[in-house]
Every structure is written in structure tokens, then in C-alpha cells.
A and B are shown apart, each in its own frame.
Chain A
């Protein structure tokens, strides 16, 4: 338990720093910023309490907001993603996923992609629509959401695989 807690804390800090200092500066020509800190929501242990998941996700979003001067949009998007994760896991693994003590890394490749894609989609939709806050730009925002979701999903899966041994 304490080992888990330590691991989650390290992951929190590393993802925060990597997001703020590296990926926020990585603006591609299509003006898309990958929000790879969604890895936190993907890798947070399934058997941990949902309340602590909600609170730490909120704090992670709030910390990102502080660095990006974005008010609270990352906090809102993060806490929403954390709230809806059990529903997604249930849809992917089946109803009894909680009793099987599953881990994300044990999922098949296909399941992994679906989980990452759905979590990223929730996170980015909330994020971009709160950020734009303007229905006149609906289509523009929608394209931005789709482009970024694809980009973040690919990057997140790559990063999770790259750092497999260090975060096990």
C-alpha cells in the first residue's frame, strides 16, 4: 500500500513536470498540444479507492492549470475523466473487472487502445469545450479535439510502453 502510494506520488510529479516543461512547448505546425498527463488516469491502480483517485486527479489538473494560467479547465477535465473511468473499464473488461484485480498492463493490445482512446476523448472534449467556451467555434473545437485525441493516444501508449520497467 505504502509502496503504491509512493509510486503514485512519483508518477504525479513526473507527469506534471514532463507535461509543463516538455509537452506544453511541443507545439506542432497544426497547433496541437498533446496532454500526456492523461497517463495518470490510465495507470492509476484499479483497486485503489475512487475517492482518492478523484482528489488526486483534481489536484493534478489544478497544478497544470497553475502552470498554464487556464483557470480551472484542466481540473474540471481531469476530475471528469477520473469519475467516468470505472464505467469505461466496465465496458471494456466486463462487469466483474473489480473482483479480478486487473491491471492496465494485463489488458490485450486492443483493450488498451480502447481504454486510452476513450479516457483521452473524455478529457480532451471537456478541456477544449471549456477552453473555447464559444459555440460559434464548435466545428473548429471538434476538429481540434479529434486531432489532439489521436495524437495524445499514440504518444501515451508509446510512453507507457517505453517506461514499462521503471513504473512497474
Chain B
């Protein structure tokens, strides 16, 4: 017994080191599990407030760029509206029915911290549970997708960016219904990878990739990016495609959070299927 105590006293520094290292490894493995929120995340009051103060100052430096992005988006939307106005619609009478409300609603949110140079990147937003944000809601910018809500606190939330090793988004070709999964190989923040696209799909360099709408997170047809290079893997008969995203992930200031009105219903149904 005495020897044991002496052993502990003599090696206490190493033992403390091993204990602290194991503790941090536990935190790491916990954060790697998809359906568990991380023990430490930047959606808390301390880091949220700090980031929002710093982000408030920083945002002034990019005002010009942001204005031009917004103006571009406005002109795009105006064009769509004018196109719709010229279409001659047959006279229809709308019935008052709750199911006619839009399935998706979009909430604007301010980006207060944005990482893109790490292997696993997160974005912090100044919007939280109090504004109705929940886990696993989609996040898009005015140009294309950005990520999925990961952790939520009262006033802040973190987004699992598309630049994260665990990000996996259902995507399809714009001109056909062939779909695959959008992942990131952790190398270049300007290139994403589209995998599991079968050989018979008509893929060309320069084709547009959009979201597939096969999950309750993103609606169908949200733009993602264009095909930069592609190569057919003869062994697996699937394409290996590099996609250049439309969203400049290095320059985000405002994003939209997508709320799916039927999310709970879809989830409940999928849960039944899985059981």
C-alpha cells in the first residue's frame, strides 16, 4: 500500500498528464459522434457575445462587397418575378387551405464567426432557440448552400459547414435527376466532392449541381456549384466529381436558415420506417 502511494506521489505529474489527455480525448470522440452535441461549442453566451462584438466591428470592413452581393441577388429575384408576371396563368381561385402555405420559410441570420481553413469548419450565427432555430435546419447564402445547424443555445447557434469532414448533403444534377452525395475531402476550401453518381448519368464539366431534396433539411433545387473536374472510376463505376461551390465560404456575412414546416412529420415517418 505504501509503495503504491509512493508510486503515485513520485509519478503524479505523468498521471495528471495521462488523466487530462484522456479527458480531452473523451471530448474529441464525443464531438465526433453525429447525433450528440459537442460538450464545448461556440454557441454559448461567452463566446457568442465576444464573437458578436468582434463581428460587429469586422462587418464594416466588408460593407461594399456585401452590398454588391445583395444587389446581385435582388436583380436575380426581380428577373424571376418579371418572368412569372409575363406568364399567362389561367384563372384559378385559391381555396383557403393550410396546406397551401409555403413548406419552407427563410430566416435571415448574421454570421459572427466563420472558419474555413481548418479540417472541420464551423460557423457561428447570431440567432438561436429564442428565434425558433433548431438542430438540423439547412443554412444557405444568397448564392448557394452553406451548411446545417449543429448546436443551438438561446441566442446563438453553430453551423456544421459544408467544409467539414462529416458534412454529407444529398445533391443532384440540375438537368437530370441523377443524384449523389456532396462531401468534402478536407483539402481545398474551394472544391467539394460529389460521390456516388452512377456511370450512366450524363455528366459534363461545367454542369450545375443543386440540392436533391431527398432530406427534410434542404428543399429541392437550391444551387450548390458547378462541376470543375470529373473522372470515372472504372473499378467502382461511379464518377469522382469536383464541384466548385457558388458560395464563397471565405466571405459570409448574412445567411438564411431554412425552416421546413413538415420536418417533424417527415422525421416521424422516417423513424417508423427505420424501426
A-side residues, CB < 8 A to B, are 17, 20-21, 24-25, 27, 31-33, 50-51, 54-55, 58, 61-62, 65-73, 75-76, 79-80, 82-83, 128, 130-134, 137, 140
Contact = CB atoms under 8 A, between A and B. Distances in A.
Contacts of B81: none
Given A79-B21, A130-B28, A132-B186, A70 B118 contact: yes
A72 B40 contact: yes
Contacts of B54: 21
Contacts of B119: 128, 131-132
B105 to A, nearest CB: 26
Interface string B183-218: 000111100000000000000000000000000000
A72 B25 contact: yes
Contacts of A79: 17, 20-21, 24
A66 B47 contact: yes
A27 B165 contact: no
A76 B24 contact: yes
A65 B31 CA distance: 11
A50 to B, nearest CB: 5
A116 B7 CA distance: 33
Contact of B42 (A31, A68, A76, A130): A68
B28 A80 contact: no
A106 B125 CA distance: 45
B40 A54 contact: no
B239 interface: no
A131 B187 CA distance: 13
22 contacts: A20-B47, A51-B13, A54-B17, A54-B20, A55-B20, A58-B23, A65-B27, A67-B42, A68-B42, A69-B41, A69-B158, A71-B29, A71-B32, A71-B38, A72-B24, A75-B20, A76-B28, A79-B21, A79-B24, A82-B17, A83-B17, A133-B165
A35 to B, nearest CB: 11
Given A54-B17, A75-B20, A83-B17, A131 B118 contact: yes
Given A33-B118, A54-B13, A66-B47, A137 B186 contact: yes
A76 B40 contact: no
Interface size class of B (residues with CB under 8 A): 35 or more
A65 B32 CA distance: 14
A132 B27 CA distance: 15
Contacts of A75: 20, 23-24, 27
Contacts, number: 117
Interface of B: 12-14, 16-17, 20-21, 23-32, 38-42, 44, 46-47, 50-51, 54, 58, 113, 115-120, 122, 124, 150-151, 158, 165, 186-189, 250
Contact of B116 (A27, A83, A132): A27
A140 B185 CA distance: 11
A133 B122 CA distance: 17
A72 B118 contact: no
Nearest to A137: B186
Q: Which of B41, B113, B118 has the most CB of A within 10 A?
A: B118
Given A58-B20, A72-B26, A83-B17, A32 B31 contact: no
B72 to A, nearest CB: 24
Contacts of B47: 20, 66-67
Given A54-B13, A79-B17, A83-B13, 4 more contacts: A25-B58, A31-B117, A66-B41, A137-B187
A42 to B, nearest CB: 19
B20 A33 contact: no
